[in-house]
Structure 1
Amino acid sequence: MIRQNQRILSQLYMLADLLCTLIVFLAAYWLKFYSDWLSYVNSVPFSTYLVWGTVYSFSAVVVGFYLQFYSPKRRKNYSYEVLKIIQIQTISFLFLLSLFYFTGEVHISRELLLIFFLMNIAAIALYRYIVKSMLFSFRRRGYNKRYVLIVGAGSVGRSFYHNLQKRPELGYEAVGFLDDYQGEHAEEHQFMQPIIGKLDDLEAKLNELTIDEVIIALPLEAHKKYAQIIETCEKTGVKTLIIPDFFDLLPARPFFDNFAGIPLINVRDVPLDELSNRVLKRGFDIIFSLIAILITSPIMLATVIGIKLTSPGPVLFKQERMGLNRKNFFMYKFRSMRVSTGEVSNTQWTVENDPRRTKFGSFLRRTSLDELPQFFNVLFGHMSVVGPRPERPYFVSQFKEEIPKYMIKHQIRPGITGWAQTNGLRGDTSIEDRIVHDLFYIENWTFILDLKIIVMTIVRGFVNKNAY
């Protein structure tokens, strides 16, 4: 299959977005003024609505162009596209409202605009998902391929090759390796693409083979060869990418900064360091917690009565935990155990058939109902709805010495539920595995990921067999 030009694909995407937006506008107009659901007397002619719908459509494409929505996204996740769609449509919608204000257009139906806005996000996200799924399917079958040449057959190059083999939907195929030490790596490459030459053969191979990208995977001691390799690739018009020899020390998506005119690699770039992301997450936390408290208030009232009837002592149990920026706070729970000293509760794990539990408390812990008061922690700013689970300071002091990168989880607010918990790592499970999932969440946070975790928590249920 002939490889399509990326510029043509970008133009097709622009045209498809434009047509999709106009079709959704017509659907929203029909739904508002002609359907039996929302029929309404229209005082503004259709032509006026059509003009404004067209303005909105073109503005969304322009905004998408400047936000690089139409740049190649072969290596991007679908959640990235959804987030971009929401950003683009929101900016375009605010621009349209601004135009209404300046032009004095006050008779346009605001209900129609809201329907149009929501339907448009859903429609574009849906058709983009269908297109992306189709492209993944084609690439798995060997179509729409991009061919890469790996310079360096050592551990870095082999790691990249093996990871590439696990992601056939990306549509990348390694044509081979270049390495000056073929004899040393020959045995390791018996199940891989061959070493087809030495580094000095690069220009000849670029002219001889169909190669779209060159991946430099050389060790640090070969740094002096980088300039010549890059110059050769640029001479033939092939894109060059570099895998640093210390890539295993970097996060999944390292951030490049600039200091005093020198490029720097930010070893741990956290998306929630950005003010806009923090505001979005905090605003959602407040709204979601208020709704959750309102909905679960009858359950919490019944829980309070149940605790009072089954065991003496306070209804709430508060325990010191470590949170954002390593600051301690008191996390609230419904009491599920008999009253004990603070030293015992702060330094001992709960075990299966723990004698401290009450019968009603066992039910609360297994159904996670004891966690409901933590929505108040969210309102107070101690916690988030989604995030790494907080731990007691006594155990934090142990884990930070035993488990690599454990303290990184404290760079964001802890959560009621998290990526680790939705993947089954709750209760008596591996702390190391939890940290791996927590780090993934921290480095790859998006608002869509938060929504996904909340939905997974609800769908998979709150009953936990490991909750003692």
Structure 2
Amino acid sequence: MIALLNKKRLNIFFSSLLMAGDFAAIFLALFLSYEIRFHSNFFPTPLGTPSIANYFLPVLWIAVLLVLVMNTHNLYKSDPTKKFIDYGFSIFKSVGITMLFVLAGTFFYRERAYSRSLIFITWVNLVLLITFSRYILSIVYRKRILPKTKKRIVIIGKPESMDMIKSHERYFKRYGDIVGIVSTRKISQGYPISAKHLGSIENFEEVLKEANPDEVILSDLEIPRKKILSMILESEKRMVAFKIVADLFDVMIQQFEIENIDGLNLIRIKESPLNHVYSRFLKRGMDFFGAVFGLAVLSPGLAVIAIVVKLDSRGPVLFSQERMTEGGRIFKIYKFRTMRPEAEAETGPVFAQENDERCTKIGKFLRSYNLDELPQLFNVLAGDMSLVGPRPERPHFVDQFKDDIPRYMSRHHIKAGMTGWAQVNGLRQGTPIEDRVKYDLYYVENWSIWFDLRIIILSLFALKNAY
């Protein structure tokens, strides 16, 4: 899981690099276009030369608009199987759409006249410079990033069902490394793919343990649906992506997405909106500024609570505990201490309970209003948590739940949160874990910045009755 998280971080880093390169190319395109239009002697300037400062604010808006348009064309999503010419076409289309908006804007905005020829020169320079920037970065990606982010792939099927994958093997080598094959029939030879035979689908759980793949691809749909479902659930438990080879016209289901690798169609469970780098930037920005604002506003109150906790009972002011967040990563969560020191020395790990006898007097009050959770703003600031997301659980309990609750580990595809969709709907400690997981998964699969804002506002009205 940690290896998968590191690969995800590398892809996010490269997407950030692409965005930074695009911003640099946009501002360079303006500067070059300005020099060509007004200082090259190729164009007349009967009205004189305007200051380049007049274009700084408009080009900033153009940059933001262009990045948004490019994001809709998946130009910030790393795809090792995509050809550069496809990226070039998407860049050309994105710049074209953006500049058409700019031209339309100049007709409605009359307070200051902007050179139409400058706009067209900028149009050409944007296409050239962004394409050149992307070409250089694509070399960096192939040489430096791709070898470290290649996926470990396990193929499931019978020999004849793997012929389709064999015909696309060249692209799979760029996409990932096939570390093994799993048979759906009682044979272990005659497979067209040169890879280690890991066993059959009957010992699928052991296969996942041994191969430790990032992705499983099923090429044989003749096996029972119940078995397919059990393999999907087992894969999700271990945070392994599960994909199915299918004809594009065989399956068109809303809960699934089609991924194309050189004409080979793979069906995958729909990704969270937070898998897109733009959405992650947006959420992280809201988390960072929200945490800074919260700590600035609440710092006097935090100081008062710290003093009261210290005076109320012996022991530290803050309580830290290991919890699990995105990708199965373990971190230390911080809270104001609400229990007696060494409260779990005799009982071991147990869930918090209503009217818990281990709580101190001030601890009961803090818990009833969720005030003990406020130090988690530091966790948000550090990037371990988000303001909104599934509440983090202790590794001890995660190990229990992932075997008993279907899709439990899928809630760890995003960062844990201070509050969540389950909590604002009244699902806290004491309510069935299964119900909370359903709400968590709904949040993961339907995230939007407006959804986060809604949950934050609802959380302010749901402070009472926690424990």
TM-score, length-scaled by structure 2: 0.47
Structure number with greater CO (CA < 8 Å, separation at least 6) is: 2
